[in-house]
Amino acid sequence: MEFVRRAVRSVFRRWARSALVVMVLCFVFALLVSIPPSIVASRAATQQTIDVLTANAVEVNATVGMVATQINCRLPPVSVPLSGANNETVVEQQFMNMTYYAKNITAISHVKAMFPVYEVEVNVSGFVFEVCGLPVDDASLFDVGSLLLPSNVSVGRNLEFGDTEVVVLQRQVAEYFGVEVGGSVRILGKSFLVVGVEGYTALNRTAAYISLRDVWVLTDNAGNVTSVRVFVDDVVNVEGVANELSLMFSELSVSFSAGLVYSVLLVQSQTGAQLELAQVTMGEIERMGVMELGVVVVVACALVLFIMLYTVRERTREIGTLKALGGSDRSVLGQFLLEGMLLCFVAGVFSVVVGTVGASFFANLLLPAPTLVGESLVSSSGVVIGEASSRAVSVALTLEVVLFGLGVAVLLGALGSIYPAWRASRTRPAETMHYE
């Protein structure tokens, strides 16, 4: 088609002007190509922050929260005189009668569960360890009170619901008796099957863990325990429940980790603030990105419009001559419309190159920095909480974005050229005599 040939020839004949126009449009279209993936990348980074903070909050509540919601209740130890000439005494732990305490403690508001624990010290030829009786016949122990179970069973298994006549040994105890999983060991005068061995950790006690009922039978002290562990439904209620326990049972020593409780509350507050910041940032990124995208589209259309209007005005005599030689309105319209689209297409191709190299720069220049999470805050249980911060993101153009950018560039070229092309097609040969 003749008008296509004329349009292509006109673009390359005025190569200096076309190059300048392409450079200007290239920068505009580079922004157009870079902004959408920048929004996507920034939103993805911020969403990742939200997901990490949410997951960390759940983990903190489930682990640290479990420690912080535990209240330890026991009777104070007493000094018992020994028979002998030196008036020696020994400190003994008083026993709590579960029939009395269980009924009253479970009636307290916000108490989630309570577990009786029987601890007795055993001395075997100078080697001292604790025998810890746990209520393994209470299924809630393995959920709410799992903190009371051996924490790091490296060989074999942990205690399970309904276990009897089995034991989990801490590694030092197992090594002292020279037994492994599958062997047997005598504790309090009775043989127990070793089902698990607890590995070394800084918090592990030198202990043997068995069923509470087995301890009661062996000590002939059924119904009595050395302490009661109370678990509260929420960390914010720990102090209130502890105060109520102290008022209800003035004879008891009631303790909880106040510092840990306040740390958990602080972490929850910080996590909430970081989540709010991340969500606000995501909204700002989307709003600013859409606004900038709209501005770029308007600027691109305006540039094409003014450039093509100037071109039509400059080439008025050429248009008149073309019309005088028989050029139709449609061919003139098509020529100038195609010129605008061709310029924008070439600018779009170069903008893809510029956008590929500078997309990350444009993203960090034009959009708010997304909120990311580092790993500088670690809870006392080893849970990474993370610290929110603003950092640069890396943006990569995909094939879909490239094709989208080229398509939009051609479309904007067409939209911006419609009026100048229509005006050129309506030019009458006689009118061109007024232009030099």
pLDDT tens-digit map of 9-23: 665 666 666 677 777
Alpha helix ranges (H) inside 111-220:
171-177, 212-219
Q: What is the DSSP string of 309-355?
A: HHHHHHTHHHHHHHHHTT--HHHHHHHHHHHHHHHHHHHHHHHHHHH
Q: How far is CA 395 from CA 109, 292, 352, in A?
A: 53, 17, 13
Only one residue has tokens 């607890």, namely: 198
What is the band of 232 on the pLDDT scale with cuts at 50, 70, 90? Answer: very high
| Sign of the alpha-carbon torsion through 163, 164, 170, 175 | negative
Q: Percentage of the chain surpassing pLDDT 70?
A: 75
**Phi, psi of 127, deg, nearest 5:** -90, 120
Give me the pLDDT at residue 420, please.
Answer: 75
| Sign of the alpha-carbon torsion through 37, 41, 46, 52 | positive
pLDDT digits (tens, 9 = 90+) for 396-428: 677 787 787 788 878 877 887 787 778 777 777
Query: 318 or 393, which is more confident?
Result: 318
What is the band of 375 on the pLDDT scale with cuts at 50, 70, 90? Answer: very low
DSSP assignment letter at 278: H
The rounded distance, in Å, linking the Cα atoms of 383 and 271 is 13
Give me the pLDDT at residue 165, please.
Answer: 95
User: What mean pLDDT comes out for the span 174-183?
Assistant: 94
- Any idea how long the chain is? 436
Q: Which two tokens stand for residue 360?
A: 């990350």
| Sign of the alpha-carbon torsion through 419, 420, 423, 424 | negative
The mean predicted confidence, pLDDT, of the chain is: 78
The rounded distance, in Å, linking the Cα atoms of 422 and 426 is 6
Task: Name which of 255, 152, 156 is nearest 207 in CA terms.
Answer: 152
Q: What is the DSSP string of 31-94?
A: HHHHHHHHHHHHHHHHHHHHHHHHHHHHHHHHTHHHHHTEEEEEPPPEEEEPSSTT--EEEEPP
What is the band of 373 on the pLDDT scale with cuts at 50, 70, 90? Answer: low
The rounded distance, in Å, linking the Cα atoms of 133 and 152 is 17
Give me the pLDDT at residue 138, please.
Answer: 93
Residue 282 identity (one-letter amino acid) = M
Listed ranges 100-109, 310-319, 331-340; the one with the highest mean pLDDT? 100-109
**Is residue 394 within 8 Å of residue 357, measured between CB atoms?**
no
Q: Which two tokens stand for residue 305?
A: 């419009």
**Is residue 312 within 8 Å of residue 336, measured between CB atoms?**
yes
| Sign of the alpha-carbon torsion through 365, 370, 371, 376 | negative
Instruction: Kindly report which listed range (36-45, 63-72, 87-96, 258-267) carries the lowest average pLDDT score.
Output: 258-267
Query: 380 or 3, which is more confident?
Result: 3
Is pLDDT above 70 for 278?
yes
Residue 55 identity (one-letter amino acid) = A
Query: 79 or 261, which is more confident?
Result: 79
* pTM for the predicted model, two decimal places: 0.52
The rounded distance, in Å, linking the Cα atoms of 284 and 43 is 10
Q: Which two tokens stand for residue 169?
A: 């040994």
Is pLDDT above 80 for 2?
no
Give me the pLDDT at residue 347, please.
Answer: 80
User: What mean pLDDT comes out for the span 368-393?
Assistant: 48
Task: Name which of 72, 48, 63 is nearest 263 in CA terms.
Answer: 63
Q: How far apart are the first and last CA of the chain?
A: 29
Is pLDDT above 60 for 99?
yes
Q: Which two tokens stand for residue 415?
A: 């939209």
Burial of 195 (0-12, 13-18, 19+ CB in 10 A): buried
Query: 362 or 373, which is more confident?
Result: 362
What is the band of 265 on the pLDDT scale with cuts at 50, 70, 90? Answer: low
Give me the pLDDT at residue 433, please.
Answer: 53
Query: 89 or 177, which is more confident?
Result: 177
